[in-house]
Amino acid sequence: MRVMKWSMIALAVSAGTSQFAMASAQDESKGFVEDSTFNVKTRMLYMNRDFKNENLKTSPSGERQGYREETGIGMHAIFESGFTQGTIGVGVDAFGLGSIKLDSGRGRTGNGLFAADSDGTPEDTQSKAGGAVKFRLSNTVLKYGDQFVASPVFSTDDSRLLPEATTGTLLVSKEIPGLELSAGRFTAMSSQTGMGHDTIVDGGLPSANIGGATYQFTDNFVAGVAASDVDDHFKKQYLNANYTLPINDEQSLNFDFNGYKSKSQGQELSGDIDNRIWSLAAAYSIGAHKFTLAHQRSTGDTGYVYGVDGGGTIFLANSVQYSDFNGADERSWQGRYDLNMKTYGVPGLSFMTRYIKGDNISTGAEEGKEHELDFETKYVMQNGPAKDLSFRLRSAWYRSNTAYNGGDNNDLRLIVEYPLSIL
């Protein structure tokens, strides 16, 4: 797992709720320059992975490696223009990304922070840039070029120093209040450490066609579907339903269902895939506290597979800091607790802990089992010159039996981020 995933609700609510009071976004355009934004985000990441007893992990140079420790700084500069006025608005988006290695080495690299040279030594610096042209008619936007995508069937990952970026065409339409339609075709994707145009996997991304729809039925209920066709790899279908039951001003219940069906096709470059996987999470919120229970189940001949379609393409409840609990026939359960300290007079400070246990994993031999315990704390500065500066500490203890992974891992990350809005 690379990053905590947003449910489809996170994509749909902002789009759906804004539409109810909106006629045409293009009619309200102020202009190319007037509506422009320019944001710079600096991220420092320290990442330590301790694979107990080496656990057959290997470095980029092929050596046995039981310990990885790296530190770096990443810079994300993103410019988004407004749209020109008129029936059809025109604009451009552009980004520049760069990273600097602060600490690493040939024997400690491999956490996905830095590219490596021919002998396995991590690169000192990395950079990449991209841009896209966009057109808007009414409430429909067509974008072509380099971009970041957050679809449950095609999602660029941003869990290290630099994000993945994809190249292609994406159409998003919000003409009907509450309904968002999307369709796209992508022909290349760069990995988080690959500065080349198409480096997500060996051989690159052949092509990926995606489509999706979300609809906000009520203020408390939203559902969505999506599908993808990655040439010579696999086809996927996705379903999400999210419902919130308000109890009173202090209490609520939320239910979130996510499900995938995957099947390999063509040359089966990602393997012979046959998988169905779903998760259901129920969360009870009361004041500063939130308690979550989740169950996830995988069936079929294989586990859930992703990667060529982006490192973030796994919108499931039990996809957590280290493991995704997505093995063949795997069953997993999660218990989670969140605490927001704003209620106790410390705004910006939050805590989270969760435990996930998975079993029934088909390995061809004995039953595979795994479990993971996570702790996380985050603080965001609320005011002053350092407003929005955040500090996030994440730790995970992962264990599995020899039949599955055969590996133990202690994963520790310190993330410091400072977003700056220039325009």
Domain ranges of the chain: 8-421
For the chain, helix, strand, coil in percent to 5 are 5, 55, 45
Angstrom CA distances, 53 to 91, 236, 321, stand at 54, 37, 21
The average pLDDT across 180-190 equals: 98
Q: Are 36 and 104 in contact, with CB atoms under 8 Å apart?
A: no
pLDDT for position 107:
80
Q: Copy the structure tokens of residue 383.
A: 């005011």
CB atoms within 10 A of CB 260: 24
Q: How confident is the model at residue 9 (pLDDT cuts 50, 70, 90)?
A: very low
Residue with tokens 């770096």: 72
The residue type at 116: A
DSSP of 340-384: EGGGGT-TTEEEEEEEEEEEEE--SSSPEEEEEEEEEEEEE--SS
| Closest residue by Cα to residue 228 from 299, 133, 142, 314 | 314
| Closest residue by Cα to residue 183 from 217, 154, 148, 223 | 154
pLDDT for position 53:
63
Per-residue model confidence as pLDDT tens digits over 235-250: 999 999 999 999 999 9
The residue type at 351: F
Per-residue model confidence as pLDDT tens digits over 220-233: 999 999 999 999 99
DSSP class of residue 320?
-
Q: Is the pLDDT of residue 144 over 70?
A: yes
- Give the chain's radius of gyration (CA, Å): 22
Q: How confident is the model at residue 22 (pLDDT cuts 50, 70, 90)?
A: low
The average pLDDT across 88-106 equals: 95
pLDDT for position 120:
80
Most confident segment among 110-119, 202-211, 396-405: 202-211
pLDDT for position 343:
93
Q: Are 2 and 384 in contact, with CB atoms under 8 Å apart?
A: no
pLDDT for position 52:
78
Report whether CATH 3.90.1150.10 matches the domain 8-421.
no
Distance of alpha carbon 155 from the chain centroid: 7
Q: Is the pLDDT of residue 405 over 90?
A: no
Q: Is the pLDDT of residue 323 over 70?
A: yes
Per-residue model confidence as pLDDT tens digits over 336-394: 999 999 999 999 999 999 999 999 999 988 999 999 999 999 999 999 999 999 999 99
Residues 6+ apart with CB under 8 A from 212: 151, 152, 153, 181, 182, 183, 224, 225, 226, 227, 238
Residue with tokens 């599908």: 227
Q: How confident is the model at residue 272 (pLDDT cuts 50, 70, 90)?
A: very high
353: β partners = 337, 375
Comparing 2-6, 129-133, 173-177, 367-371, the range with the smallest average pLDDT is: 2-6
Q: Is the pLDDT of residue 65 over 70?
A: no
Mean of pLDDT over the chain: 92
Helix, coil or strand: residue 14: helix
Q: How confident is the model at residue 12 (pLDDT cuts 50, 70, 90)?
A: very low
Please provide residue 381's backbone torsions phi and psi, each rounded to the nearest 5 degrees.
Answer: -60, 135
Q: How far apart are CA 360 and CA 369, in angstroms?
A: 7
Per-residue model confidence as pLDDT tens digits over 283-320: 999 999 999 999 999 999 999 999 999 999 999 999 99
Q: How confident is the model at residue 274 (pLDDT cuts 50, 70, 90)?
A: very high
Q: What is the pTM of this model?
A: 0.91
Helix, coil or strand: residue 17: helix
Q: Copy the structure tokens of residue 7.
A: 């449910």
Q: Is the pLDDT of residue 5 over 60?
A: no
210: β partners = 184, 228
